[in-house]
Amino acid sequence: MKSLITFINVVVAVCFLSFEPALADEPTVEWEKTIGVRNLEFGLSVQQTSDDGYIIIGYTRPSGPDGGDSDVYMVKTNDAGILQWQRNFGGIKSDVGCSVQETFDGGYIIAGYTESYGAGYWDVYLIKTDLLGLVDWETTFGTSEYDVADVVQQTSDAGYIIAGATRSYGAAGRDVYLIKTDSDGNMIWQKTLGGSLSESANSLQQTTDGGYIIVGYTTSYGAGSSDVYLVKTDANGIMQWHQTFGASSSESGSSVQQTTDGGYVIAGTTSSFGAVNSDVYLIKTDSNGSSQWQKTFGGNNYDGGSSVRQTCDGGYIIAGKINDDHGGSCDAYLIKTDFAGNMQWQKTFGGTYRDWATSVQQTIDGGCIVAGTAGVTRLPEDFDFYLIKIASEVYLPGDLDGNRQFDYKDLLILTDNWLEICYPPCWCRRADLDKSGLMDFDDFAGFAKRWFDIE
């Protein structure tokens, strides 16, 4: 008991210490796959499925000047990235799939845009399939103008929320387009968000209060030619607040997620901050969208962020692209940070030709899955879906911050989460030594025993 009291006193003391973040080892790649059938396949979104496999969406079209128009292209793989089936959707003109999610019934919902169906030009294209990718129903939204969807999510009421851009509705120019449907794709309401110039949504999530968080870009508001545009709405799509991020040049937000503290993390691209040209742009906000910190990553050429997810250790994983110093080629780019946005590692993926990442998700095993596009040959029109599986990091029991050490920083985390339900999940695996589902007194005792090497 005396040792435990000493241990707790140590925890209190180190709460007032500061420390520098340490770089971790590069991740281990479990496997990499390319998938394609028609010379031009572009992968835009990936999700792990309930059977531990993966679903990927994008579009495909034949190469060459007479290759024809594009189709929505959906691929299902097993947990090793081996193709199980593939499906095409669309008509005689161009159709693109931008977002996919497994639905409550085990099927899939796809959003994108279509030139083949609808009222004319581009229309929002929503497709519901069964678990084998066979169409249950499909529908379109829009008029004869420009209407596109970039993201879809199934909502808590089993309906769907879709975000993109429209020229058919709204104030002027292009506006954020937000559509809510029921479980059969019937529109419940639609909203537009924006000002007198141009806005577009690239990412969306239903928030814990039943509303929605949306990110994209705006030229109507902000400081530069375009700025990151963050919008929070209520459950009926009514704007509650909006924020912009940027400076005198151009910025855009590509991905947003609500974080465990109730705030938001955003990934995108900035030309105002960072080194030169453009860099990956990472922004953390509080629950009201006010910036808490901002970070940039990249080299000396044109780099950008496409996707971000909070990881189970409280940090962030960001996917995007990084160009070589001559601007002629690019690689898929993956960055891991701690909870404060400090880089823990970065890694590039790809071959001799152009490769980039557009989507990342942490997997159930603690690793992550990355999707994008890979240049297969030197030909300018020879690309395939690109799928990368990153292994779960090996951890020490008690190593809560993932720096491969059991040290005072882990004690701070344990103290801050005293008597809390284990979250994130990897903290639970590492800290819940007695498997009670809580970080509690018995875990403190276990930590004390480990700290003082008491038998």
Per residue in 184-222, pLDDT (tens digit) is 999 999 999 999 999 999 999 999 999 999 999 999 999
Q: Is 80 exceeded by the pLDDT of residue 430?
A: no
- pLDDT-derived band at 420 (thresholds 50, 70, 90) equals low
Residue 257 β-bridge partners? 265
List the one residue out of 76, 95, 90, 91 whose CA is nearest residue 33: 76
Domain locations along the chain: 2-15+399-452, 29-390
- pLDDT-derived band at 455 (thresholds 50, 70, 90) equals very low
Place of tokens 């509080």: 286
List the one residue out of 213, 230, 175, 224 whose CA is nearest residue 197: 175
Distance CA 297, CA 328 (A): 19
Which of the listed ranges 25-34, 189-198, 389-398 does the model predict with the highest average pLDDT? 189-198
pTM recorded for the entire structure: 0.85
Q: 29-390 belongs to which homologous superfamily?
A: TolB, C-terminal domain (2.120.10.30)
Per residue in 107-128, pLDDT (tens digit) is 999 999 999 999 988 999 999 9
Q: Is 60 exceeded by the pLDDT of residue 172?
A: yes
Q: Is 70 exceeded by the pLDDT of residue 64?
A: no
Distance CA 147, CA 168 (A): 7
Higher pLDDT, 173 or 206: 206
Distance CA 204, CA 426 (A): 25
- pLDDT-derived band at 42 (thresholds 50, 70, 90) equals very high
The pLDDT value given to residue 421: 45
Q: Is 60 exceeded by the pLDDT of residue 376?
A: yes
Distance CA 227, CA 315 (A): 25
- CA torsion, ordered 189, 202, 51, 364, to nearest 10 deg: -120
The pLDDT value given to residue 353: 82
- Asked if 57 contacts 71 with a C-beta cutoff of 8 angstroms, the reply is no
The pLDDT value given to residue 454: 40
The pLDDT value given to residue 275: 75
Query: What are the percentages of helix, strand and coil residues in the chain, rounded to 5?
Result: 10, 45, 45
List phi, psi (to 5°) of 118. 95, -160
Place of tokens 């990368």: 388
